[in-house]
Structure 1
Amino acid sequence: MSTSLLDDWADWAPRLLDGLGLSLKVTGLSLAIGLTLGLVLALWSSAKRLPVRLPAIVLVEVGRGMPALVMLQLIYFGLPDAGLTLETFPAVVVALSLTTAAYTSEIIRAGLRAVPSGQLEAASALGMSGGDTQRFVVIPQGLRIALPTLMGFAILIFQISALAYSVGLPELLSQAYSVGAATYRYLDVLVLAGLFYLAVTIPASWLVARLERRLNRHL
């Protein structure tokens, strides 16, 4: 690696770091909103009443079946035709939140179903109501079981945030393309952008693996 390349990377790094910060912000907000909606959809899709369960299942299947890029284009370019215009940043957050909600609802639902039946029987023996059993027994333990998979999905959402480039949000990939357009050195700047992505995803993946091993020892 030449010294000149390292000097160029040092010059480009501040812009890419700004983009990385925006990518992380989009990811964090999308996960906060999407995981909350995912939990609601998981509970609704497991409900006994069909009028509650059926719409939740339909929303989940539509969200999982629609590519994240199509969802983003629909929110940003499609909603204005219906009289609702969103700025770039909220449009990206809404689109990724909906994608997150659809996928994590199934992850959470699987975790809720994995709670041992003995726990439910113990709650019933203690005279806990159905709502209290869900709130204090099923949901906490189900989320604990689903946590490693949810964290793995969070890494995927961080990677998917690069799709925001398609609507002009100045996140990491967009900043890299901007530098490439100005310098005509796309390979060099995209390699640097890739290293920034790896600097986040590799430690996060290691954390997920470690957490999964720890939880497996206690299950």
Structure 2
Amino acid sequence: MTGFLELFGQSLPSLLGGLRVSALLTLVALLFGLPIATVLAFAARAKVAPIRVVAVVVIEIGRGIPALVLLYFMYFGLPDAGLTLPAFLSAAVALAFMVGAYCAEYLRGGFSAVPQGEIEGAQALGMSDFDTMRYVILPQGWRIALPGLMGFAILTFQSTSLAYNVTVRELMSITYSAASQNFQHLFMFLMAGLLYAIVSIPASWLSVLVEKRMAKHL
């Protein structure tokens, strides 16, 4: 037991450092991915057919390609085209594209759920299509889609473990390196799983609370 406590004390600081990288990667992916999702969601509802088709194709490609393939494409594939990105940036771009594609569907559903009467009311007041989008559809659509977006943010955090495959020193990478040195794979991966759960489970509870609160006001 004493040996495990010593191993815990020795390993925890480095694992927490990896957890910070995982959290930062999640934050960057969401900061860039959610604006992309918003643009794609509106474009997918556009009246101009070419814009709508391009948006739907981008969404389906992003949803259809596994995240690991996107990571490999950014880190190993782009250098063949003369563009080399650092490991962290490659992972952030790949995850942001994934976030943009998947969350566009949540937002498109949210925008479609805005009551038609409110849109017609805005138009009756003389608001332009752009102002109706900005002041009526966008805030209400985001509010409706928020629980789903929060849920996907948790999945994005968990997906950062894939960045280990492109040499990002996140939680899974640190865990594997430490286990390779001390040969305590079971203990190390249990610690990593616990750290992921410490972040994911409360975030999941928060998502459920937000969903229930939103349901009372819809």
Fold agreement, TM-score > 0.5: yes
TM-superposed CA distance for 1:182, in Å, is: 0.4
Give 3-state SS (helix, strand or coil) of 2:181's partner. helix
TM-superposed CA distance for 1:3, in Å, is: 3.4
When normalised by structure 2's length, the TM-score is 0.98
Give 2:128's aligned residue.
129
> What is the CA–CA distance in structure 1 between the aligned matches of 2:123 and 2:35, rounded to whole Å?
27
> What is the CA–CA distance in structure 2 between the aligned matches of 1:130 and 1:65, rounded to whole Å?
32
Counterpart residue type for residue 106 of structure 1: E
Give 1:17's aligned residue.
16
TM-superposed CA distance for 1:117, in Å, is: 1.0
Map 1:1-219 to 2 at 5 A: 2-219=1-218
> What is the CA–CA distance in structure 1 between the aligned matches of 2:138 and 2:107, rounded to whole Å?
9
> What is the CA–CA distance in structure 2 between the aligned matches of 1:215 and 1:6, rounded to whole Å?
44
RMSD: 0.7
Instruction: Write out per-residue CA displacement over residues 80-115 of structure 1, whole angstroms, 9 at most, x where no aligned residue.
Output: 001100010100000000111110111100000000
> What is the CA–CA distance in structure 1 between the aligned matches of 2:210 and 2:56, rounded to whole Å?
30
Instruction: Write out per-residue CA displacement over residues 119-169 of structure 1, whole angstroms, 9 at most, x where no aligned residue.
Output: 112112211111110000000000000000000000000000000000111
Give the number of equivalent residue pairs: 218
TM-superposed CA distance for 1:189, in Å, is: 0.5
Identity fraction in percent: 49
Runs (5+) with no aligned partner, structure 1? none
> What is the CA–CA distance in structure 1 between the aligned matches of 2:49 and 2:215, rounded to whole Å?
35
Moved runs in structure 1, 4+ residues, more than 2 A?
none
When normalised by structure 1's length, the TM-score is 0.98
> What is the CA–CA distance in structure 1 between the aligned matches of 2:105 and 2:203, rounded to whole Å?
22
> What is the CA–CA distance in structure 1 between the aligned matches of 2:182 and 2:168, rounded to whole Å?
20
> What is the CA–CA distance in structure 2 between the aligned matches of 1:139 and 1:52, rounded to whole Å?
19
> What is the CA–CA distance in structure 1 between the aligned matches of 2:52 and 2:81, rounded to whole Å?
28
> What is the CA–CA distance in structure 2 between the aligned matches of 1:130 and 1:169, rounded to whole Å?
44
Counterpart residue type for residue 81 of structure 1: D
> What is the CA–CA distance in structure 1 between the aligned matches of 2:197 and 2:5, rounded to whole Å?
18
> What is the CA–CA distance in structure 2 between the aligned matches of 1:48 and 1:83, rounded to whole Å?
37
TM-superposed CA distance for 1:45, in Å, is: 1.0
Give 3-state SS (helix, strand or coil) of 1:151's partner. helix
TM-superposed CA distance for 1:5, in Å, is: 1.3
> What is the CA–CA distance in structure 2 between the aligned matches of 1:212 and 1:58, rounded to whole Å?
29
TM-superposed CA distance for 1:7, in Å, is: 2.3
Counterpart residue type for residue 201 of structure 2: I
Counterpart residue type for residue 200 of structure 1: V
TM-superposed CA distance for 1:10, in Å, is: 1.4
